[in-house]
């Protein structure tokens, strides 16, 4: 702060020599007003910071999501829990996710060890979402294009996590199985497609 005042005083002294004392006084008054406005703005910004709560300054606290209950619901409904049969049979499972249970399981086992899908621990020491929750919701979004809000109640994930898991799952599937299953159609297939269009 002392250096800035010294610079402004030197500027005022320089102006006093060339243009006269009146101009120097006006410039000094203007600089003083600008500095006062800057101090007031900074003080308001600092005072506003104390209104926010959460683990990071400027952020509100996280919602309390019971990830364990979400995983338990998925296991119980889709795969069976505690030796009981699943609530949804194979036909319901395929209708819900648009893939057979074996394909879903194969993709889940391939993706669960990828960095985003791994279950990690928050800075507070609590577990984050299980990989199964992320994969289930990504499949539901891909199959139906449903909104993230109903998923929040069942899978217990935020919209951001759902969107990111869907994007990363699609990219993973394309990279891993794209060359094998997504090949260009040959001339016979193209002729068949063109015949159907007529």
Contact indicator for 28, 12 with CB cutoff of 8 Å: yes
Report the length, in residues, of the chain: 198
Contact indicator for 62, 125 with CB cutoff of 8 Å: no
Contact indicator for 65, 157 with CB cutoff of 8 Å: yes
**What whole-number distance in Å separates Cα of residue 133 and Cα of residue 136?**
5
Please report the pLDDT score of residue 168 as a whole number: 92
Higher-pLDDT residue of 174 and 80 is 174
Cβ burial of 190 (10 Å; 0-12, 13-18, 19+) is exposed
What is the arithmetic mean of pLDDT over 161-183? 87
pTM of the shown model = 0.56
What is the arithmetic mean of pLDDT over 19-33? 72
Q: State how far the alpha carbon of 118 is from the alpha carbons of 6, 109, 131, 182, in Å.
A: 57, 11, 6, 27
Task: Supply angle C-alpha 68, 72, 73, rounded to 5.
Answer: 120
Q: What sections of 51-89 are H helices per DSSP?
A: 67-74
What is the arithmetic mean of pLDDT over 8-24? 57
Task: Supply angle C-alpha 163, 75, 87, rounded to 5.
Answer: 110
Mean model confidence pLDDT for the chain = 75
Cα radius of gyration rounded to whole Å, the chain? 31
**What whole-number distance in Å separates Cα of residue 151 and Cα of residue 156?**
7
Please report the pLDDT score of residue 56 as a whole number: 60
Q: Over 80: is that where the pLDDT of 175 sits?
A: yes
What is the arithmetic mean of pLDDT over 166-183? 87
Taking only the tens place, the pLDDT of each residue in 113-145 is 888 888 888 777 777 888 888 888 888 888 887
Q: What token pair was written down for 16?
A: 């006093």
Q: Over 70: is that where the pLDDT of 87 sits?
A: yes
Q: Over 80: is that where the pLDDT of 174 sits?
A: yes
Confidence of residue 171 (pLDDT cuts 50, 70, 90): very high
């Amino acid at each position: 702060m002392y250096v800035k005042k010294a610079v402004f005083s030197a500027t005022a002294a320089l102006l006093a020599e060339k243009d006269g004392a009146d101009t120097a006084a006006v410039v000094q008054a203007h600089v003083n007003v600008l500095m006062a406005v800057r101090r007031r703005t900074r003080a308001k910004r600092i005072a506003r910071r104390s209104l926010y709560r959460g683990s990071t300054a400027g952020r509100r606290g996280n919602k309390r999501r019971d990830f364990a209950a979400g995983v338990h619901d998925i296991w119980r409904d889709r795969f069976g829990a505690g030796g009981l049969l699943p609530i949804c049979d194979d036909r319901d499972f395929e209708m819900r996710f648009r893939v057979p249970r074996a394909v879903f399981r194969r993709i889940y086992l391939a993706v669960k060890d990828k960095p985003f899908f791994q279950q990690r621990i928050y800075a507070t020491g609590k577990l984050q979402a299980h990989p199964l929750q992320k994969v289930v919701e990504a499949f539901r979004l891909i199959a139906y294009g449903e909104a993230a809000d109903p998923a929040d109640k069942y899978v217990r994930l935020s919209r951001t996590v759902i969107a990111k898991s869907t994007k990363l799952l699609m990219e993973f599937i394309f990279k891993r199985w794209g060359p094998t299953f997504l090949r260009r159609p040959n001339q016979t297939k193209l002729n068949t497609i063109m015949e159907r269009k007529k």
